Structure 1
Amino acid sequence: MNTLKAEKRSMDVKAKKLRREGYVIGNVIGREIETSIPIKMQKKDVERLLKTDGKGSQIMLEVDGTPYDALIKDVAYNPNAGRIDEIDFQALVSNEKVHSVAEVILLNHEKLAEGVLQLNLSEIAYKALPAALVDKVRIDVGEMRIGDAIRVKDLDIAADKDIDLTTDPEAVVVTVTAIHPEAVPETAEETES
């Protein structure tokens, strides 16, 4: 489990100023936290963390030396500025189920013999105790054929008794469809000599 260091943020300093100084802002919420804790983290530390962890990942968040077993609840990207604006965390309680999501990762798509993969769900929503949290669902699509479909209920996460799915088990995650060639318009024969 990765660790991210953060500091409590003074609300007197504007977010814009903190971002210019190389920080990413965020909040920590949780059942055992009275009010949300506004925090700031070093931008380089956040970028390093997000290379391996994302929304739905469980990390150790250290706020001014106090460790929190935390879930990354939301990551707000600013595509225009090319930066991460804010990350929100939920401090976990070991005996309390939390809502989370697992990112769908397709494996071996280069081995697909025919057809086109269509990813219909990029994440699976569920509830689980902190010990059962999953941040990624890997699906091997290398053996799929045209007409094949994988539904949420077909995934390992659906068979896990410690996980309560909130995404519909019948929802299609990925399918393989035939490639339909574009209709080529017929051109009139050229009669110029």
Structure 2
Amino acid sequence: MSAEKITAEKRTEFGKGAARRIRREHKIPAVVYGHGAEPLHVILPGHATMMALKNHGYNALLELSLDGETHLALTKQVQIDPIKRVIEHVDFVAVVRGEKVTVEVPIIVVGEAKPGTLVVTEASSIQLEAEATHVPEQIEVSVEGAVAGTLITAADLPLPQDVSLLVDPATLIVNVTEQVSAAALEADLEQAEVEAGIEKDAPETEAAADSE
């Protein structure tokens, strides 16, 4: 994963009013934490930052140019306006090339399982350890031709070189089950109602006959 180069400005005004002014100028307030230094408050260009995060996903790595210095920053949290769907704020963690970082990487299921099966994704992301400049954008899991009963665990994930799991290898990621028919679902529901002592109302025709 290469670092996207972004020119940043130093942020000197704070508070809600200042943040609103920054956003009105189509810019984004952000902060870079880490490595024992004071948090670095910056202002980022809106469109360039949005495209970088869109192209590189959860863990976008940005190379922030600020006052002649370069800061390598790994995306940790993005705040998005729930109505306007624009980026309101970004939190980064400062990293250096060669260091290991802990990241949450999305899992993408690809392929088609055998007919008559149901593919259940048990985990949509996985916690990994990777070198800061080689964080995978996603991990693809193939279910092509998988039959009912197939279980894919964390240990089965195709991880890139020098990337390691930070979860139990037995963690279930994908479960391929037999697809249940509507009739079978209805039968199971009726059985559950019987076991729970739930009595259904009689059909209208039966109720009318009983009243005669």
TM-score range, shorter chain: 0.7 to 0.9
Aligned pair partner of 1:62 in 52, 65, 70: 65
Report the Cα distance in structure 1 between the residues aligned to 2:120 and 2:81, rounded to whole angstroms: 27
- AA of the residue aligned to 2:24: R
**Paired position in structure 1 for 2:12:** 10
The TM-score, its normalising length taken from structure 2, stands at 0.74
> Structure 1 residues 97 and 79 mapped into 2: Cα distance closer, same or farther (>3 Å)?
same
The Cα of 1:76 is off from its aligned counterpart by: 1.9
- Structure 1 residues 168-190: Cα deviation after superposition (integer angstroms, max 9, x where no partner): 22111111223332418899486
**Paired position in structure 1 for 2:40:** 37
- Structure 1 residues 46-89: Cα deviation after superposition (integer angstroms, max 9, x where no partner): 22112211222333233344323322122222323322222122
RMSD: 2.7
> Structure 2: which 5+ runs fail to align?
191-199
Kindly report which structure 2 residues correspond to 1:40-51, keeping only aligned pairs within 5 A, or say none. Answer: 40-51=43-54
**Paired position in structure 2 for 1:101:** 104
User: Does 1:170 pair with 2:170?
Assistant: yes
Give the total of aligned pairs. 188
Secondary structure, aligned partner of 1:183: helix
Secondary structure, aligned partner of 1:173: strand
The TM-score, its normalising length taken from structure 1, stands at 0.81
User: Does 1:153 pair with 2:166?
Assistant: no
The Cα of 1:148 is off from its aligned counterpart by: 1.2
- Structure 1 residues 132-187: Cα deviation after superposition (integer angstroms, max 9, x where no partner): 42221111122222221211111122x84x23422222111111223332418899
The Cα of 1:38 is off from its aligned counterpart by: 0.9
The Cα of 1:24 is off from its aligned counterpart by: 1.7
**Paired position in structure 1 for 2:74:** 71
> Structure 1: which 5+ runs fail to align?
none
Percent of matched pairs sharing the same residue: 24
**Paired position in structure 1 for 2:135:** 133
Report the Cα distance in structure 2 between the residues aligned to 1:64 and 1:141, rounded to whole angstroms: 49
Larger Rg: 2
> Structure 1 residues 112 and 17 mapped into 2: Cα distance closer, same or farther (>3 Å)?
farther
The Cα of 1:17 is off from its aligned counterpart by: 2.5
> Structure 1 residues 112 and 77 mapped into 2: Cα distance closer, same or farther (>3 Å)?
farther
**Paired position in structure 2 for 1:83:** 86
Report the Cα distance in structure 1 between the residues aligned to 2:103 and 2:80, rounded to whole angstroms: 19
Report the Cα distance in structure 1 between the residues aligned to 2:170 and 2:60, rounded to whole angstroms: 25
Q: Between Structure 1 and Structure 2, which shows a larger proportion of helix residues?
A: 2
